[in-house]
Amino acid sequence: MTQQEHDEEHDEEHDEVQILDPRGCLTLEAMCFTSQLQPEQRAVVDRHVHSCAVCAQQQMDLARVTERLRSARPRVPVPMEAKTLARQAALKSLALRRGHREKRLEQRSTARMRSIRKSAAVPWYRSHTFWIPVLVGMASALVLAAVVLLFL
């Protein structure tokens, strides 16, 4: 886990919004973006605005401003030609990158092969019959030793 990920998790864990101020009224943070609060925090806010006319009024004002700002969002038409061009460029770029990556791997592999060829290396391989001549040799040595002992 990176430091940034850790920090973000830490932030989310400690995103404790102060719902009520020392006077017992809702804080500004609790009144705005209430839908993004935890369910239990939302419940506290809802309960409070039912009983406090001042906070209810303020929350209503803020909601009105929020809605006004939201509806004033400028819409930017995206030209179809630009979209098509951007899409084609992105996919082409992806294909090129993939091509480059494969080419890089291929080049690395070729370079390695060349160095192996230069060093005249031999692949190390031990067959399952490797031990047979060894055992035969040892048996022969034992027989030879026995014969020598017999003649002595």
Partner 1 sequence: MLHTMSETVIVAALRRGNFRRAIELILDTYQDEVFGYCAGLVGGGHSSGVYQQVLTVALDELPTFNGVVSIRAWLYGIARRVVIRHQQDAQRDFSEPVPRASAPAPAFPGEIEEIRGLRPTDLELDTCLNQVAPAIREILQLTLWHGLLLAEVAHITARSLPEVRRMAAEGLSSLSGALQRFSGAPS
Q: Dihedral through CA 134, CA 138, CA 144, CA 150, nearest 10?
A: -170
Nearer to partner 1, 50 or 97 (CB): 97
Residue 116 CB, shortest distance to partner 1, in Å, is 29
What distances in angstroms separate CA 101 from CA 68, 107, 113, one per listed residue?
Answer: 50, 10, 18
Q: Phi first, then psi: what are they for 90, rounded to 5°?
A: -65, -45
Q: Phi first, then psi: what are they for 15, rounded to 5°?
A: -85, 65
62: contact with partner 1 by CB under 8 A: yes
105: contact with partner 1 by CB under 8 A: no
Contact criterion met (CB below 8 Å) for 5 and 16: no
- The span of 24-32, 46-54, 120-128, 136-144 binding partner 1 (CB under 8 A) equals 24-32
Q: Which residues bind partner 1 (CB under 8 A)?
A: 2, 4-5, 8, 11-12, 14-15, 17, 27-29, 31-33, 36, 61-62, 64-66, 68-70, 72-76, 78, 82-83, 85-87, 89-91, 93-95, 97-98
